[in-house]
Structure 1
Amino acid sequence: MKFYDALQLDPAILKRKSAACGAKREKAYYWAAMAARSVLIVSFAIVFISLLSNLFGADNTPLAVALFCMMLGIRFVNFEYCAGDSLLTLAAALAILVLAPSAAAAAPAVLLIPLHFGAFFALLYITTQRPEMGNGGLYSFAYIYLTGNPVFGEALLRRGLLAVVGFVLCGGILLLKHRGQHKATRFHHVVRRFDLTNPVHLWQLRMTLGVSLVLTAGQMFGVERFMWMGFACASLLSAYPYSGNTSVRFRQRLVGAAAGCGAFFLLYLTTPEAFHPLMGPLGGLCLGFCTDYRYKTAMNCFGALMLGAGIYGLQGAVILRMVDTFLGVSFGLVFAALFHRLAAVRLLPQPEGE
């Protein structure tokens, strides 16, 4: 396998290939590819996000982060429509990501649930036909992150211009990589197939309702960094295939968050202050070697806590991260169980004879 081809593979695949090798040299080859892949992604992320933040303002860094993730994802996973409808879908998704968070921040409390529900369901429905490919997690992350960082006025205009740049970049990648696929599939074909007995559509409904409720609760009760609560809840509900039991991921999320917060706390205290800004990129580099959900959760804490420590202090950020995570996964666990019970009665096919 060429080294360039190895760089395109997921760390889980590279680890399996390394484990299957007998020679130390071959094992080292795949580990080198994993390391190079991680360094290249983090380096490109720093350059890409810094450039867009400088051009469109630091308050629009969250959209730059979301666009970076979208660029990486859209290389491998498309929307499963023809090229024209895929471009329209991309434009609609970006419009939702730009407008809905700011609308929710300005809306009265009574409108928050329908606003989040409508915007988030539309986003999931148009972008995620196969949840197992990861689009659901990608676009839910973008929506929650931007909801936690709304902008207004001139900053919102700059965010719209940044979205146009994102459309050009992601649209170009989409056409380059996928223009010959799904030529006969139009968006209206997918709309006509909507059926809540379909596990994908049931998953979309559960994900939308759960995330809408947790974001609304966070905004209404003034929870600090409520988007962290949203991330934790979404991580439980995004698991696919659809299942009413989210207890395994509940435990994994809590263990991962505790490990990540603990590691960050110790490193922050034991390293020079000049090293602290590098802890976010360090988490990103380590993430490139992770295949277990718990380790991914732990490494994702580094970037979040690096920013949070500058606002709340080290201890405040760590405590807030753990509290928000616990609230989010606890809500997700209870919500998933209640939703599944109702769905089993109303929507899911019943065994014969019952």
Structure 2
Amino acid sequence: MTRVIGGYFELENRFESEYYPNLIRLNTGRNCLEYILRTKAYKKIYLPEYSCDTLIEPILKLDIEFEKYPINMNLEPEKIIYPKQDEAFLVINYFGLKGRYVNSLTSRVNNLIINNSQAFFEAPIKGFDTFYSARKFFGVADGAYLHTEDAPEMDFKQEVSWKRSEHLLRRLENGANDGYKAYKRNEEYLSGKEIKLMSDLSYRILSGIDYSAVKSRRNRNFKYLHLKLKGLNGISFSDWDIDGPMVYPFYLENDDLRKELILKKVYVARYWPNVLQNIDEDKQEYKLAKFLFPLPVDQRYGLLDMDKICKLITSFLKR
């Protein structure tokens, strides 16, 4: 289109650079996976039991055989699977805390697909298909990045997100509760959606973020929670694994804590409800889905917010 000069202003943004300017921009993480499966023509894929059911969407769509594998409390596969030439092994970098482990797999496992949807700041590894979800880290209505060295020309339409950004604006001005219904509508829209290029709105927003400041804030918040809560946490991890994490995974076998936190307006998601429906109660994945509390550590919050979370949890445990 001919560039218009003058007139009314659009939404303000600092148009500088994305974090991954050289990766393929698509609309969703699940569609990044579909892209990989299409280009590699895999006949079967192995994926963890502890995972979101959205990962199954492209697998069912392409009629690919799949098998789920168990993980342990270290958030690692109980047993490494070595796929055949026409098979793939998908590993999740849970909460952005398994980067070193995933990197160790690259020397042992062929046809490894790395799901960095929860690990935005973990750099892609040369030779291994990797995908990211921007929506899990930033306020955009769509947006995902794909690293692959097999990228045939595909004629995708571009996503349009301006009319699905209501939840972002409502939360900004009126709070989280006011925008929740609009948020759910956007999630439903993206379910089963065909592969499209990232919307221009999301691209521009993601090009104006101070990523260094975001990572620093996330690390600081995470380390504060870990300092205060590691003695109570049923999951352990090394300080060396902290690099712009998604959340602080706090494991406590008392589901009443979730109700208490939500009552006090600390919203903790459940990863993932589908696991509770599909897994036996004695399995590790069931316990993780039920008793893992993903505590917010993102760039919207500071140490006073982290201190509030800690005090709520310690007060709850003293009852």
Q: TM-score, normalised by structure 2?
A: 0.30
Q: TM-score, normalised by structure 1?
A: 0.28
- Higher-strand-fraction structure: 2
- Higher-helix-fraction structure: 1
